[in-house]
Amino acid sequence: MALDRFITLSEAAQRMRTSVKETRSMIKSGKIKGGLLPDGAMVVSEETLPKRKEDLPEYKKHSHLMNVGISINEASREFGIPSGTITRWMQSGIIKRLSSDGYRTLINKADVAYCSEIYRRSGGQGRRLFNSDGTPYTPKNKSLAG
C-alpha cells in the first residue's frame, strides 16, 4: 500500500490557485484529503489535489508551443479537426484565446496540440472528451463508453 504524500495547506492552495481559506473548506467538505500535524498545522494529500491539464504528460510534451498564436482556421487545417470543434473548445475555456483583431482570433497552439492528441486517442467526433477543467474525460461506466 502506497502512503499519501502530504504538503502544507499554503502549498496546496498555491497549486490549486485558491486561497488557504477555500482550501481548508475543500478539506472540510471532503473534496480533498487533509490531516492535522501534532502542532495543529493542517496538511493536504497531494494525491487528492485536482489535476490541471498543464500538469499532464500529454500537455507537457507540447509546452514548446505555449503562447504561440495560431488562427482557428490554421489550427483546423494543421491538426485535422473541424473549426467548429476548436471554436467550442475555445468558448468553453479548454483552449486559451490569445488575441483577436476583429478579423481572426489567435489561440494557444499548445492547447490545440494537446486537444488534438486527446481527440485522436478517443476516436474523434461525437464523444465527450474533456472535463470542465480541460483534463481528459473518463466515463464512470466504461462499458457504456463505446
Task: Let me know whether 12 and 63 are in one domain.
Answer: no
* pLDDT score of 145: 46
Q: Is residue 78 part of a domain?
A: yes
Instruction: Quickly list DSSP for 47-101.
Output: GGSPP-GGGSHHHHTTGGGTT-EEEHHHHHHHHT--HHHHHHHHHTTSS-EEEE-
Q: Is residue 11 part of a domain?
A: yes
Residue-number span of the structural domain to which 68 is assigned: 55-122
Q: Which residues of the chain have pLDDT under 70?
A: 1, 124-125, 140-146
Task: Let me know whether 117 and 67 are in one domain.
Answer: yes
Count of domains for the chain = 2
Task: Let me know whether 88 and 40 are in one domain.
Answer: no
pLDDT by residue (tens digit) across 19-45?
899 899 889 988 889 999 999 999 999
pLDDT by residue (tens digit) across 46-55?
888 877 888 8
* pLDDT score of 144: 47
Task: Let me know whether 31 and 12 are in one domain.
Answer: yes
* pLDDT score of 121: 87
This prediction's pTM? 0.69
* pLDDT score of 102: 83
